[in-house]
Amino acid sequence: MLTERQLLILQVIIDDFIETAQPVGSRSIAKKANINYSPATIRNEMADLEEMGYLEKTHSSSGRIPSERGYRYYVDHMVLHREAADNIQIIRNIMQDGLFEFEQIVQSSAEILSRITNYTSIILGPEVFDTKLKQLQIISLSENTALAILVTNTGHVEHRSFSVPEAINASDLEKMVNILNDRLHGVPIFKLHEKLNDEMLDLMNKYVTDFETSYDYLKAVFLSENPVKLYFGGKTNLLRQPEFNDIDKVRSFYSMIEEEDEIASLLKGAADGIKVTIGHENKVDAIKECSLITATYEMNEEQMGTIALLGPTRMEYKKVITLLDALSTEMSDVLYEWYNNNE
């Protein structure tokens, strides 16, 4: 159990290090307006805090920096969830600024968060089992190539170019797309394979000449497994932090960012409310010198996504926790309204 004096010194050191990224010495602490202890007394307390594992001493300075254990104690016992009123109002204003599509709302949220905090924001889209098909299109690009477009009711657009084999008649593809749009509009995406196999075969056989070849090909084009949907803001923000001057750290971080499945598995199943993971508490090697703070948001009673901020361990925890809490509430409110309007 830390004494009142130790708590005060630990808080001052962490707050200063978050702001400056420089080790904090006893003399600078003694000059603080709210500190009434001598440098010698402060040095003794700092030595005790180091022995208990809350502080670390760097080789280049006589000052101390917080350890991961120190940050964990700070987050669990000392961070007050104070409202950062101006920043929360910015979030509310933008959330209510006429964003009508799911994609816009979520991408905008990621960008707002990274801009306000100067950290990297990542938002994992909900497990949208109720996302529905709005439209399929095939656009001819040349004699042998075309563009397939799939649009959902959430505003999400998937498109991929593909080569059209000589064995497939372009008019047959067009007929099949028209049939699919007519019969599959409003069908949940995860049920498309089932609907295609159970209900569409006889109909296509009736209207399409060589339907089996075209049918198999069309399924491969439109219904290959969709990638995980992640939304990023401020991918380069970590480069501005002194902890990431090491090129190997930068390379490792950006390699991880490219592995969206790995990030998604990191964020999936996040606990309700705010969760703070510090340094080596993170399971992914590339972020073992970072803190990851997550919060959940809801689109309806069954669909939940995750908001995350990634930054150095000397993250501005008070500010970030307050902002994430506010953003998760605002996103949930806006997305509830959006979902009900698009049912």
CA dihedral defined by 62, 65, 69, 73, rounded to 10 degrees?
120
pLDDT score at 159 = 79
Q: CB-based contacts of 43: which residues, under 8 Å, 6+ apart? A: 26
Q: Is the pLDDT of residue 146 over 50?
A: yes
pLDDT of residue 3: 93
Q: What's the average model confidence in pLDDT over 131-138?
A: 82
Where residue 138 falls among pLDDT bands split at 50, 70, 90? confident
DSSP secondary structure string, 144-182? SEEEEEEEETTS-EEEEEEE--TTS-HHHHHHHHHHHHH
For 319, phi and psi rounded to 5 degrees? -65, -45
Contacts for 342 with CB less than 8 Å, ≥ 6 apart: 153, 154
Q: Give the type of residue at 120.
A: T
More confident of the two residues 115 and 212 = 115
pLDDT in tens, 33-85: 888 999 999 999 999 999 999 999 887 667 899 999 999 999 988 876 544 55
> What is the predicted pLDDT for the residue at 69?
95
Considering only CA atoms, which of 333, 329, 318, 328 is closest in space to residue 83? 318
* Cα separations in angstroms, 2 against 77, 146, 290, 328: 11, 67, 25, 33
Q: How far apart are CA 99 and CA 20, in angstroms?
A: 37
Using only C-alpha atoms, the chain has a radius of gyration, in whole angstroms, of: 26
Predicted confidence (pLDDT) per residue in 208-217, tens digit: 666 676 677 6
User: Which helix H or strand E contains 230, and what residues bound it?
Assistant: strand 230-233
Answer whether residue 128 shows pLDDT above 60: no
The answer, yes or no, to whether residue 87 has pLDDT greater than 70, is no
Q: What is the pLDDT of residues 236-281, one digit of tens each?
A: 888 888 888 888 888 888 888 888 777 887 887 666 778 999 999 9
Residue 29 above 60 pLDDT?
A: yes
31: pLDDT strictly greater than 80: yes
Q: Which residues contact 331 (CB under 8 A, 6 or more apart)?
A: 95, 105, 106, 109, 297, 307
How far apart are alpha carbons 134 and 68 in whole angstroms? 48
The pLDDT, as a whole number, for residue 129 is 46
Please say if the pLDDT value at position 326 is more than 70.
yes
Question: Which of the two residues, 118 and 171, has the higher pLDDT score?
Answer: 118
Higher confidence at residue 302 or residue 147?
Answer: 147
119 pLDDT band, cuts 50/70/90, is very high
Helices (H), the chain: 4-20, 26-30, 39-51, 68-73, 85-95, 102-117, 170-184, 192-195, 201-207, 211-222, 247-258, 260-267, 317-341
More confident residue, 2 or 194: 2
pLDDT score recorded for residue 141: 82
Average pLDDT of the residues of the chain: 81
